[in-house]
Amino acid sequence: MQPLETPEPHRFCVAPMLDWTTPECRALHRLFTRHAFLYTEMVTTGALIYGDAARHLQHQADAPCALQLGGGEPEALARACEIALPYGYQEINLNVGCPSDRVQNNRIGACLMDDAPLVAECLSAMQQAAGAVPVTVKHRLAIDEQDERDVLHFVETVASRSPCRVFIIHARKAWLQGLSPKANRDVPPLNYPLVYEVKRRFPALTVIINGGIADLAQCRAHLQHVDGVMLGRVAYQNPELLLAADTLYGAPAQTLNAVLPQIRTLIAARLARGEPLSHYTRHLLGLFPGVRGAKHYRRILSEEARAPGAGIDIFDRALAAVAHP
């Protein structure tokens, strides 16, 4: 793995999303933006230590990219970092924000919010194993009956007891009892000012804000208060939003007309080595929002790309259905 070199690498991040931010998705997203920091789906320590690690870790053409780990045992997290090192990720992130039943049953994810010393111990073990590769944490403001302002104590404890200096904060509480994972993304109210306060209280830390951010204008507004922004579903469901992400780094925006041929080239190359068309096209269904022919484009990809042996001609026909400039 190589350490980060780009200044302010986290100004714009695409969140880790289960079943969405796959290696194929990230390779496509990298064509839309050269600079945005991409994150993998969460991978549990058990999947790497006892499962097919290569299947979970192999990736290409997506740097800068962070591997997100799920786990709550320092030794297992350190071992997972050691296994991941040869795969060339630019960062390893600990998930302390996911509220799903799966993580609750294993005492990982958002459950760890009630044990900041353990989180610090986990991050310290991870950093020792990761060497020069930065280890970071993604977390909520609080869980269940905790006061949201407990996040200040959480950050202080973790920062003082571990080498972690990058905190990605989803600006909501997580209710582990009574709300589904889907509801936890929307129902708990957002508290952006509290995340801003974390940055004011700990100016030496890199603070990235996540949750409910809808467009680049909102990103710029948040960047007046914190170091970076992280977008999830809105970036996935409308990947054209990513075209302008590089402007946050002082670089030119990409254009869809320039990116589409690159997407075709990437997909054709991956098809030539036996990968299924649908592994890529399913991540492109959000293109062309509001454009005439977009519904036909989505129907072609949804219905035909999954067929055995589906080729690049299906992608070409889908594009031809859209009245894009």
The predicted-structure confidence for 30-60, as pLDDT tens digits, reads as follows 999 999 999 999 999 999 999 999 999 999 9
**In Å, what is the CA distance from 272 to each residue of 265, 276, 309?**
11, 10, 11
Poorest-pLDDT segment among 128-142, 173-187, 266-280: 173-187
What confidence score (pLDDT) does residue 281 get? 98
Q: Is the per-residue pLDDT at 166 higher than 80? A: yes
In the chain, the DSSP E strands lie at: 12-14, 37-44, 65-70, 91-96, 135-140, 166-170, 206-210, 228-231
What confidence score (pLDDT) does residue 3 get? 42
**In Å, what is the CA distance from 1 to each residue of 10, 89, 130, 315, 325?**
18, 6, 9, 34, 40
Q: Is the per-residue pLDDT at 298 higher than 60? A: yes
Is residue 299 within 8 A of residue 318, CB to CB? The reply is: no
What confidence score (pLDDT) does residue 106 get? 67
The secondary structure element, H or E, covering residue 45 is helix 45-50
What confidence score (pLDDT) does residue 200 get? 98
What confidence score (pLDDT) does residue 180 get? 72
CA dist., res. 206 & res. 301, Å (int): 40
Poorest-pLDDT segment among 4-8, 149-153, 214-218, 254-258: 4-8
Poorest-pLDDT segment among 102-111, 131-140, 249-258, 268-277: 102-111
* Two tokens, residue 4: 């980060």
Q: Is the per-residue pLDDT at 15 higher than 80? A: yes
Q: So which residues are the catalytic ones?
A: 98
Top pLDDT among 182 and 320 is at: 320
What confidence score (pLDDT) does residue 103 get? 61
Q: What is the mean pLDDT of residues 109-136?
A: 96
Q: Phi and psi (nearest 5°) for 13?
A: -125, 150
What confidence score (pLDDT) does residue 98 get? 85
Contacts of residue 316, Cβ cutoff 8 Å, sequence gap at least 6 = 264
Q: Is the per-residue pLDDT at 2 higher than 60? A: no
Q: What is the mean pLDDT of residues 235-248?
A: 97
Q: Is the per-residue pLDDT at 167 higher than 80? A: yes
Mean pLDDT of the chain: 94
pLDDT cut 90: percent of the chain above it: 87
What confidence score (pLDDT) does residue 6 get? 47
Q: Is 210 helix (H, G, I), strand (E, B) or coil?
A: strand
Task: Write down the pTM of the prediction.
Answer: 0.94
The predicted-structure confidence for 75-119, as pLDDT tens digits, reads as follows 999 999 999 999 999 999 999 998 876 665 668 899 999 999 999
CA dist., res. 71 & res. 272, Å (int): 37
What confidence score (pLDDT) does residue 90 get? 98
